[in-house]
């Protein structure tokens, strides 16, 4: 089985327009590595220079914010949905 990553509209040009990308289960860090391998450039949109999640990108694993779980060590199992949601600012 696989997990699914939902790609936001602003990042779809990197995935060739794909809205959802299947990935192998593992940790969130491994999922991001797999995404970067399949779609170069996506990893740098998600991780900063130190390899941490960027502050302006929210990542949810089955509706739970990974910042309140185990961050990049959060488990992503079979049939799990990972949602990438860029932060929106306005005024």
CATH superfamily to which 3-86 belongs? Beta-grasp domain (3.10.20.30)
Q: Bigger pLDDT: 35 or 89?
A: 35
pLDDT tens digit string along 35-80?
A: 999 999 999 999 999 999 999 999 999 999 999 999 999 999 999 9
Between CA 14 and CA 17 the distance in angstroms is 7
Q: What is the pLDDT of residue 21?
A: 97
Q: What is the pLDDT of residue 77?
A: 96
15 and 39 in contact (C-beta within 8 Å)? yes
76 and 82 in contact (C-beta within 8 Å)? yes
Confidence of residue 91 (pLDDT cuts 50, 70, 90): low
Domain ranges of the chain: 3-86
pTM of this prediction exceeds 0.85: yes
The Cβ of residue 27 has, within 10 Å, a number of other Cβ atoms equal to: 15
């Amino acid at each position: 089985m696989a997990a699914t990553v939902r790609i936001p509209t602003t990042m779809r040009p990197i995935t060739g327009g794909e809205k959802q990308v299947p990935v192998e289960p593992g940790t969130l860090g491994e999922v991001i590595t797999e995404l970067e391998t399949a779609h170069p450039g996506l990893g740098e949109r998600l991780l900063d220079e130190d390899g941490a999640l960027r502050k302006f990108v929210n990542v949810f694993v089955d509706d739970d914010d990974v910042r309140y779980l185990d961050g990049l060590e959060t488990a992503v199992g079979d049939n799990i949905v990972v949602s990438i949601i860029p932060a929106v600012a306005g005024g």
